[in-house]
């Protein structure tokens, strides 16, 4: 046998042994293939959520989730009081110095989803808050477009209770980064304006936002908006009527309003600090032939107008200040959360053209053309005890209701938030800067007797709020408003004491309030 003989014999023996074990014998069936073990369902997924129930709010849906319905409600009841308002007559607003228990807001919203790509909301709100001009004139009522009759020195303070539409829109969501919303909703300008009132640790938004930068809050329009994953970039831009809620397209002009913010640390995931910087812009025009509503007053949280858009001139005529011409606003925002603490702020520049007209002849009379312009801003710091940020993130703007039924419900969270805020307005009102009759002092109504044009107002507030998620809140808040040199030519703003004693009056007015709120 050659040397290759033994090697060939060993190879044949190995093949025979493998065939005896791997191949079935004649007449035997091959063994069945082993089935792969079933993949277990993830432990954190709810496979069959109920068709109706409560998950951060009430919901009702069909089996395929083509239809969802979310009935929602919000009720805010305030106990209010003020100091530094003593001595006012009933016509001047003596009620401001007395404790008052009143309804601030009662809101009912019907919202839902259709075929997972269409979202809608229909809301109505009853609101009530007193208003008074520092000049002693009654400010225009809260119900936009329906001013009440009044005379100088009469009906100066009154609580307006009005019902209006709010959060009424349709949203189309086929591509999350590019969605379209049309209807009436909060305009995409300012971080604080983009935060729902039910999430704020304050009774009202800051003096700078509500009184100067964006007094209308809501508007009617169409916006394109969206966000990148983890919201490290979010934007919204659109066209709006510019006249506020209830005054859609009075003059046929449109405002362009936009806001965007970035979270540069969130590109790596949601667990990184959500440091945020952003900007807002608004520009539009007001047609003086068609716009006949007053400029918004600058008020305290309880409604006293530290500066009102009107005065009684030397002839005894009630002269009002109305929007007319260009309206430009720019804003910068930032927010720095760290653990249980957060620091946020905004600064604004506003230039708003105006005109003055005698009451009752707004559509046919213009005495003079002017400008209200200047800067404003606020700085806010907050800290949490217990669970942190149980109300969610601020400044996300109007958006469809998000209810995650296919995830297990989280435990109810409870927290106590302590916050402080400093806000201010540094502006000038020049009533005849763009032409017309000679300038009249808005404080005294005399021609040429008022050298000052400044509007300087400050607000210092502190609050403590108990939160059970966003469903229940109880807030105690104190605010002090400061109008330096009020009652003189150096400041057109004023306090109740200024109304009584002129330059000898106090430059301070304080307010205390508590709020009990329920939202579901």
Least confident of 105-109, 181-185, 193-197, 264-268: 264-268
Q: What is the pLDDT of residues 432-447, one digit of tens each?
A: 888 877 667 766 666 6
pTM: 0.85
The predicted structure's pLDDT at residue 267: 62
Distance of CA 291 to the CA centre of its chain: 25
Nearest-angstrom CA–CA distance, 100 and 81: 6
Which helix (H) or strand (E) covers residue 107, if one does?
strand 100-114
Per-residue burial over 492-508, b if 16 or more Cβ lie within 10 Å, else e, is: bbbbbbbbbeeeebbbb
pLDDT on residue 269: 57
Q: Are 400 and 266 in contact (CB under 8 A)?
A: no
Extract the tokens encoding 262. Answer: 């970035």
Q: Is the pLDDT of residue 211 over 60?
A: yes
The answer to whether residue 15 scores a pLDDT higher than 80 is: no
Residue 13 — φ and ψ, nearest 5°?
Answer: -65, -40
Q: Indicate the domain borders of the chain.
A: 172-519
**pLDDT reading at 40 higher than 60:** no
Handedness of CA 438, 442, 447, 450 (dihedral sign): negative
Rg (CA), the chain: 31
Backbone angles phi, psi at 207, to 5 degrees: -55, -40
In terms of Cα–Cα distance, which of 394, 401, 307 is closest to 344?
394
Give residues with Cβ within 8 angstroms of 406, minimum separation 6: 45, 46, 47, 49
3-state secondary structure of 36: coil
Q: Who wins on pLDDT, 264 or 159?
A: 264
> Residue 468: pLDDT band by 50, 70, 90 thresholds?
very high
Residue 210 scores a pLDDT above 60: yes
Share of the chain above pLDDT 70, in %: 80
Task: Give the separation between CA 375 and CA 66, rounded to whole angstroms.
Answer: 48
Tell me what the mean pLDDT of segment 454-480 comes to. 96
Per-chain mean pLDDT for the chain? 83
Residues 6 or more apart from 222 whose CB is under 8 A from it? 180, 181, 182, 238, 239, 240
| Max intra-chain CA distance, the chain | 138
CA distance 57 to 340: 26
Q: Which CATH class is domain 172-519?
A: mainly beta
Tokens of 327: 């309206």
Mean pLDDT in residue range 356-361: 88
Least confident of 247-251, 257-261, 484-488: 247-251
Least confident of 17-21, 43-47, 377-381, 393-397: 17-21
Calpha distance 184→245 (Å, rounded)? 7
| Lowest mean pLDDT, pick from 104-118, 176-190, 198-212, 306-320 | 306-320
Predicted confidence at residue 137, as pLDDT, reads 47
Q: What percent of the chain has pLDDT over 90?
A: 48
Tell me the mean pLDDT in the region 151-162.
46
Please state the φ and ψ torsions of residue 142, each to the nearest 5 degrees: -70, -25
In this prediction, residues 314-334 reach a mean pLDDT of: 91
Rounded CA-CA distance 461/316 in Å is 38
Distance CA 391, CA 276 (A): 18
Question: What's the confidence (pLDDT) of residue 446?
Answer: 66
**pLDDT over 90 at 266, yes or no:** no
Measured between alpha carbons, how far is 416 from 391 in angstroms, rounded to an integer? 11
Residue 272 confidence (pLDDT) above 70: no
- pLDDT at position 34 is 45
In eight-state DSSP terms, residue 9 is H
Q: Tell which residue, 138, 129, 128, has the closest CA to residue 93.
A: 138
Given a contact cutoff of 8 angstroms between Cβ atoms, the answer to whether 359 and 322 are in contact is no
In contact, 306 and 497? CB cutoff 8 Å: no
- Rounded to whole angstroms, the Cα distance separating 300 from 305 reads 6
3-state secondary structure 171-228: EEEEECCEEEEEEEEECCCCCCCCCCHHHCCCCCCCHHHHHHHCCCCEEEEEEEEEEC
Euclidean distance between CA atoms 183 and 197, whole angstroms:
19
Among all chains, which residue has been given the structure tokens 């007319």?
A: 324
Q: What are phi and psi of 208, to 5 degrees?
A: -65, -35
Helix/strand/coil percentages in the chain, nearest 5: 10, 50, 40
């Amino acid at each position: 046998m050659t040397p290759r003989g033994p090697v060939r014999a060993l190879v044949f023996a190995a093949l025979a042994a493998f065939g005896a074990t791997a191949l079935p014998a004649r007449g035997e069936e091959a063994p069945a293939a082993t089935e792969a073990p079933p993949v277990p369902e993830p432990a954190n997924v709810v496979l069959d959520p109920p068709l109706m129930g409560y998950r951060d709010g009430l919901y009702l849906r069909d089996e395929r989730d083509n239809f969802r319905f979310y009935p929602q409600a919000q009720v805010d009841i305030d106990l209010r009081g003020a100091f530094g308002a003593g001595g006012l007559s009933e016509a001047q607003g003596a009620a401001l110095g007395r404790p008052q228990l009143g309804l601030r807001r009662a809101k009912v919203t019907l919202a839902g989803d259709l075929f997972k790509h269409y979202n809608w909301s229909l809301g109505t709100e009853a609101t009530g808050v007193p208003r008074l001009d520092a000049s002693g004139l009654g400010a225009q009522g809260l119900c936009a477009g329906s001013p009440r009759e009044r005379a100088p020195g009469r009906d100066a303070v009154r609580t307006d209770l009005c019902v209006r539409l709010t959060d009424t829109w349709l949203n189309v969501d086929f591509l999350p980064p590019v969605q379209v919303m049309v209807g009436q909703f909060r305009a995409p300008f300012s971080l604080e304006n983009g935060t729902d009132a039910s999430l704020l640790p304050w009774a009202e938004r800051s003096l700078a936002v509500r009184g100067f930068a964006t007094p209308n809050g809501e508007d009617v329009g169409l916006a394109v908006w969206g966000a990148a994953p983890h919201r490290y970039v979010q934007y919204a831009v659109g066209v709006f009527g510019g006249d506020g809620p209830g005054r859609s397209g009075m003059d046929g002009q449109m405002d362009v309003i936009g806001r965007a913010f970035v979270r540069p640390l969130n590109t790596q995931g949601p667990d990184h600090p959500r440091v945020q910087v952003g900007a807002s812009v608004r520009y539009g025009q007001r047609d003086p032939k068609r716009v006949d509503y007053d400029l918004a007053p600058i008020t305290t949280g309880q409604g006293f107008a530290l500066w009102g858009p009107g005065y009684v001139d030397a002839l005894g005529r009630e002269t009002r200040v109305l929007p007319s011409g260009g309206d430009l606003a720019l804003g910068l925002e930032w927010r720095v959360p760290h653990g249980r603490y957060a620091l946020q702020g905004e600064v604004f520049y506003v230039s708003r053209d105006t005109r003055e007209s005698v009451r009752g002849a707004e559509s046919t009379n213009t005495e003079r053309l002017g400008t209200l312009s200047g800067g404003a801003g606020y700085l806010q710091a907050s800290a949490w005890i217990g669970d942190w940020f149980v109300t969610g993130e601020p400044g996300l703007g109007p958006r469809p209701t998000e209810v995650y039924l296919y995830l297990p419900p989280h435990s109810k969270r409870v927290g106590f938030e302590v916050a402080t805020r400093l806000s201010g307005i540094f502006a000038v009102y020049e009533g005849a800067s763009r032409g017309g009759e000679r300038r009249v002092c808005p404080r005294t109504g005399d021609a040429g007797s008022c050298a000052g044009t400044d509007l300087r107002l400050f607000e210092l507030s502190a609050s403590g709020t108990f939160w059970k998620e966003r469903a229940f809140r109880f807030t105690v808040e104190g605010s002090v408003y400061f109008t330096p040199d009020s009652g003189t030519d150096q400041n057109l703003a004023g306090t109740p004491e200024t109304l009584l004693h002129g330059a000898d009056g106090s430059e301070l007015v304080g307010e205390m309030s508590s709020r009990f709120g329920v939202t579901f």
